Amino acid sequence: MSLPCRASLLPLAAFALLAGCGRETRDFSGKMMESPHRGAKFAGNAWRISNGARLYVWMNCAGCHSHGGGGMGPPLRDAKWRYGSSMDNVAFTILNGRPNGMPAFRDRITEDQAYELAAYVRSLSARTREDALGGRQDEPANVEPPPLDERKQPRAVTPDEDAAQKKVGTQ
């Protein structure tokens, strides 16, 4: 290959390398938790979402929430989020619990782990970038996966509205 041909390929190779750099960031220095916007740093990070999936199993979240479809606890795959759907709201709920059933996990997991769990929980309801989601699950799925092309905007629902919708659905 001639020198002019190689020189013309150099900018193309540099562009290709730089284009692949924006997928996710990992903070190995430990400064992520000092930021006031730490939720955004967990939301699109495939490694953190994967750790959250592992914690979801280890902390027996499926015991109440099933595998996102709900059970004794509310479903995590729909667009109704009683206490807000932001990373900070979900992590706050995990750490501090909520009335009527959600236990507090503050003494059992770190804040870092709570944000990893929040990132995974949000990925169950298609609130995560598709390129940050894993290509496969770590264990066999026993439910149909949610479609990723149907992104639903979360909306706040009060407990009274939720109870009224359940009554209408059972009649």
Measuring CA to CA, how many Å separate 119 from each of 27, 77, 160? 16, 13, 27
pLDDT band at 114 (very low <50, low <70, confident <90, very high): very high
What CATH number is given for 36-136+148-170 in this structure? Answer: 1.10.760.10
Closest CA to 81 of 130, 122, 39, 128: 122
Tens digit of each residue's pLDDT (9 = 90 or more) over 5-57: 666 766 776 666 665 555 555 555 555 555 566 777 887 788 888 899 899 99
Joined tokens for residue 84: 């807000």
d(CA 142, CA 140): 6
